[in-house]
Chains A and B, each alone.
Chain A
Amino acid sequence: VRTNQLVNSAHLLALSQQEELEDLPKDYPLSPSEDEGDIDGERKHQKLLEAISSLDGKNRWKLAERSEASLKVSEFNVTSEGSGEKLVLSDLLGPVKTSSSLATVKKQLNRVKSKKTVELPLNKEEVERIHREVAFNKTSQALSKWDPIILKNRQAEQLVFPLKKEQSAFAPIEHVLSGWKARTPLEQEVFNLLHKNKQPVTDPLLTPVEKASLKAMSLEEAKMRRAELQRARALQSYYEARARREKKIKSKKYHKVLKKGKARKALREFEKLQKANPTAALEELEKIEKARMMERMSLKHQNSGKWAKSKAIMAKYDLEARQAMQEQLARNKELTQKLQVASDSEEEEEGAEEEGELVPDAVNEIQMDANGPNPWMLRNHLRGTGEAKVRDPEKLPEPVAHEASESEEEERPGAEEEILLNEFEERRSLRKKSTLNQDTEPVSRQEPKDSSSKEVLSELRALSQKLNRENQQCGKQNMSSTRTVPAVQREEPAEVEEEPLLLQRPERAHTVEELEELGKEECFQNKEVPKPMGEGQQSERNPNNQPGTPKEKKRKEEMIDLQNLLTTKSPSVKSLAVPTTVEELEDEEERDQKRMIKEAFAGDDVIRDFLKEKREAVEASKPKDVDLTLPGWGEWGGMGLKPSSPTSPSCILPGPPRKDKNLPNVIINEKRNVHAAAHQVRVLPYPFTHHQQFERTIQTPIGSTWNTQRAFQKLTTPKVVTKPGHIIKPIKAEDVGYRSSSRSDLSVVQRNPKQLSIRHKKQLKKNSVD
């Protein structure tokens, strides 16, 4: 198509040139001097004809002829040859007829005859306008590629600037310094000094000596040494850590084992030493001797220490403790034993006797007990076991221990206080019985109590929840009711009447208090909205908000009234009732407590209170029926006519029904709460289309108190993040994945800007045709 167009245009150009040629005769009159030579005879003949024809006296001026050259040529005297008739193509073609060689030319000319003439070119302004329009369309088309990106960026949850991460390039110091020269005298002086002393000027800033010292140790060597050092240090730290850990171990068994191991090791070494080096062994021997002396002096291992005493107490029942004591004694013996081998049987026996004496009586007793029945301990022991049999196998371990400690206490006084002991035992058995009873009974008793109290609690909770909900609801209703009005208002022409973002005033708020004041002011402004209400009316209508004093008085009366106290049986009190099978003393205590609780909650009949409250609320909020009667109106008057009753039903308008009419457990406060309203949003803010949306956004908490850490972070991501100290560059086509134009912006301008490109011309033509 394009080539076709091109051909066409070329053709058109050619045509226009031809036509210009054709037009020439009629546009520009040929000068006579030009003609003279060529067609002189013909002209003369023509003139003669004209002269004859003009004899009638009309076109006389045409006859004027310039016979001599002159500068002054009157425009009226200019003649055009054959002006009367137009030169037509056929005239030209006439003579051609005969020669057949010109047939093609004739054809072409014939074709030309059928074409129309080209219109005048547009004026400059028009052309420029078209240029601009074309360019604008092109540019805006090019720009529209940014639409999706801009939309995406505007809607993005988070934008992090700079958009493209730039890697910071570190220039090595040599590069920085190479371009720098000393210019000022001071600098030059400094550099001279440096040069004189063979100090380095550029990096690395090291003197030759320093360099040499650096080179003294090869890199590998240094690395090895460093590794070694590191390993040593690591080992040391491991060792330290281990020692510390071992030191911290509290297990006695572990330490015992450790000590034994050490002792055994020492012994083995000693034996070895004896064989290998007798002198050294002697020294060791001396050491052992010294230890013996120390032991004999201190009697450390003779069951006299604190530990030993405590063990002695336990020894009766604990086999391990007993063993430990015996071990200690054995150690004592070992230590105090003379190393000279003196195998006297007598002495051994004496030692054994000593041992027996050294061990406390209690231990012996239990030993005997273990061997055979001890007459003193027999009764106790038997009873304990008997009782243990009665009890559940589960509860066994604990009471036994308990009993053991008790029995221990009792055994302390000794045999003389036998009578006392018996008394104790009796008492103890009694106590045990009572505890057993308690164990069995309370389990069954607690359950009903719990359930009943739970019921009451749940009731109370439900009530309070309902109350809460009701408050919220009434708040919402208020909001919705207020919302409808502004919605209507908004339709008014104040479309652009956007509220200023800033509240500008000539006073400055300096402190938090002043800011608070600001808030309060707003609050007062809000208060203007609700209708002013009479004081009395308010108090009458609002029993909830103002806990009236009479009510409190009534409560006090109730407190005092004994009759009431006795008759009221609130469920909470009931729940505390306990069967009377319990022992008297405890029973009395419980009764006391019950009485106290009764007194404390004497007036608290919650349900009745609530019902009463609701009744009052209903009464208070009941819309006063509007009496529209006007006496005498709408009736016939006159003699003998009675006026109709003033309260006819048609004259009274009933108010709307209460919302909690069918909800017995609920009071819905339908009044607007002024104090809450000051904090409430009155108009649905812009992006929200429904109040529920807005409420939902407000009700979902974003703090970390209510959300997990991850959710909290997600909820609080800022919309725009900028890094301090980073230059944010304008967005680039390459950054967002578009190919930026490879052509430089200059390329077109640098060619002749006045000359139009072929494409422009084409567009121009197309536009002009349109």
Chain B
Amino acid sequence: MLSCNIKGVTNGFPLRLEVEKSVEKEVDFNADFLKNMFPKIEWKALVDAARSMGYTELPNEAESQMLDSEEFLKKFHHALLQLHLEEGALICPETGRRFPVSKGIPNMLLHEDEVFDEVYQIESQF
């Protein structure tokens, strides 16, 4: 899970997806892994992200009892592990700042004016 860390941003998660190119990759199904991951996932964020990639099969809400269902697990597996953003951007929900994604790698580097820095200043006149 990535979040936006620009200075002063209070709601930097979840980042929205801007999809230019997405790919589906085959990943081995592992039910135990999914059950372990489930408590750590912001379900709504996953649903929204999957939807922006064109996958609408996930239920809007999920509870741990649903992990007993093979059908649910398969959908969870697909959304979490098989959908990949290749080209596009992650968007800060508060500022709209775009973090570009290229070849599947997000670039989360902040520009200098986005960094809050109370003690660190190198004056250019030095």
Do A and B truly interact? no
* Residue positions of A touching B, CB distance < 8 A: none
* Residue positions of B touching A, CB distance < 8 A: none
